[in-house]
């Protein structure tokens, strides 16, 4: 089983370039099958979830051509099937985007129920509510969602809770519905705006993305497009926290600083120096970083996907911090792993009390999910001695060349596939 093995204790210093936003790319790839013309997508992250989506698009008969590592051409004119189901697509959350895309274009979809990281309940009832409001009949059989409609007709849809996935899914289906659809209490995340902009580049008529009311005037068909995906907010935030955790100095490049405001604000509260440029942010950590309180909220609040990384930073800050997780109920599983390193964190319900410690010690760890896995790696790079992180398949779902980018910042880290390789690395670095 592949693992990361690292020797910590050195600050991470330098510049790192951020790739395309995984969460935007997943919705955009699904939307790309909504036209019969060529679609060119650039700044595509080369991560496992993206590659699974591309294989699923191929499987239903579309043409998928990788132009280079970060660019793809998709042509869905020869799609022969509205069934999306295999052992891989069932393991990622974004499989549900095929429902909105196929239902919009073909008025029919049969898609495996989604998987993804086990960080808590993520029902798709709001997605189904939206599809039903547009006139679709929905059945769930054999682990699949079956959606069919004679015609899709616009509707006013109120989301009971803010949902990124439901907002994107309904937006896709409504783009090819008859009439004007209004989504109220819509999610406002940057990747909502990016998917809307992509659909508009294909001829859709969507207004209000990025606000809590989105209005979609349905069109008869969509056309081809060339589109570049926005930078990944969470990858950028992870490297910003890497500076704080390792007491380093990192410039995060090729980003949209506006998207990072909640993260920047908390790092500044902790005492880090945060310098903003047009398309970059520099985070300079301090030795005497202090505690602060965090509550995860929908955008523009503090992102739930950054909660493990900021909690790890707080574990090394002076004083007591409270971290409240308001999005997912099972996102503190990594705390038991951090405890092996000497942290002082107590979890009750959706709240963690973090009492900062002076240092961490290396340990053998397991990544419980994507973002927690990245946080554990950063903890290992700050710890005294050697740390191993198993189950790095989770990390590879959302971070492109994570190891390589860390090495470029001075990290002593390597991916190994066997105990024998790990022993060689240990002998080499002792």
Question: Active-site positions?
Answer: 117
Q: For 45-90, what is the HEC assignment?
A: CCCHHHHHHHHHHHHCCCEEEEEECCEEEEECCCCCCCEECCCCHH
Cβ neighbourhood burial of 19 (10 Å; 0-12, 13-18, 19+): buried
**Residue 123 annotated as binding site:** yes
Q: What are phi and psi of 325, to 5 degrees?
A: -100, 110
**Residue 22 annotated as binding site:** yes
**Residue 125 annotated as binding site:** yes
Cβ neighbourhood burial of 427 (10 Å; 0-12, 13-18, 19+): exposed
**Residue 122 annotated as binding site:** yes
Tell me the two tokens of residue 193. 């705006």
Tell me the two tokens of residue 299. 């955008």
How many other β-carbons are positioned within 10 Å of the β-carbon of residue 417?
10
**Angle, to 10 degrees, between the axis of helix 307-314 and the axis of helix 370-382?**
20
- Contact indicator for 395, 374 with CB cutoff of 8 Å: yes
**Residue 126 annotated as binding site:** yes
**Residue 23 annotated as binding site:** yes
The DSSP element (H or E) to which 236 belongs, if any, is: helix 233-246
* Annotated binding residues for UDP-N-acetyl-alpha-D-glucosamine: 93, 122-126, 305, 327
* Annotated binding residues: 22-23, 93, 122-126, 305, 327
* Annotated binding residues for phosphoenolpyruvate: 22-23
């Amino acid at each position: 089983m592949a693992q990361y093995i690292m020797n910590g204790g050195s600050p991470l210093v330098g510049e790192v370039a951020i790739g395309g936003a995984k969460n935007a790319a997943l919705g955009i790839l699904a939307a790309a099958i909504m036209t019969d013309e060529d679609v060119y997508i650039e700044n595509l992250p080369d991560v496992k979830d993206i590659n699974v989506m591309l294989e699923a698009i191929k499987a239903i008969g579309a043409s998928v051509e990788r132009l280079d590592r970060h660019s793809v051409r998709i042509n869905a004119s020869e799609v022969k099937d509205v069934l999306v189901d295999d052992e891989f697509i069932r393991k990622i959350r974004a499989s549900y985007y095929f429902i909105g895309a196929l239902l919009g274009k073909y008025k029919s979809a049969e898609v495996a129920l989604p998987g993804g990281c086990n960080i808590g309940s993520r029902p798709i009832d709001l997605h189904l509510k939206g599809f039903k409001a547009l006139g679709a009949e929905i059945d769930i059989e054999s682990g699949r969602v079956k959606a069919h409609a004679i015609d899709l007709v616009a509707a006013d849809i109120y989301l009971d809770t803010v949902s990124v996935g439901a907002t994107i899914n309904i937006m896709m289906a409504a783009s090819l519905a008859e009439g004007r659809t209004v989504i109220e209490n819509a999610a406002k995340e940057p990747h909502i705006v990016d998917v809307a902009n992509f659909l508009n580049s294909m001829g859709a008529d969507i207004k209000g993305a990025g606000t809590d009311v989105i209005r979609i005037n349905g069109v008869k068909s969509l056309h081809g497009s060339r589109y570049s995906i926005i930078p990944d907010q969470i990858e950028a935030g992870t490297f910003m926290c890497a500076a704080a955790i390792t007491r380093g100095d990192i410039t995060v490049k090729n980003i949209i600083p506006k998207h990072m405001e909640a993260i920047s604000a908390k790092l500044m509260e902790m005492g880090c120096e945060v310098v903003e440029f047009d398309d970059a942010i520099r985070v300079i950590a301090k030795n005497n970083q202090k505690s602060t309180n965090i509550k995860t909220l929908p955008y523009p609040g503090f992102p739930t996907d950054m909660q493990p990384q900021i909690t790890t930073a707080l574990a090394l800050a002076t004083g007591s911090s409270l971290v409240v997780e308001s999005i997912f109920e099972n996102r503190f599983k990594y705390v038991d792993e951090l405890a092996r390193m000497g942290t002082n964190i107590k979890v009750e319900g959706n709240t963690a009390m973090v009492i900062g410690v002076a240092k961490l010690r290396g340990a053998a760890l397991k990544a419980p999910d994507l973002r927690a896995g990245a946080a554990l790696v950063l903890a290992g790079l700050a710890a005294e001695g050697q740390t191993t992180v198993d189950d790095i398949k989770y990390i590879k779902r959302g971070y492109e060349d994570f190891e390589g980018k860390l090495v470029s910042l001075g990290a002593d880290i390597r991916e190994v596939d066997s105990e024998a390789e790990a022993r060689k690395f240990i002998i080499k670095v002792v």
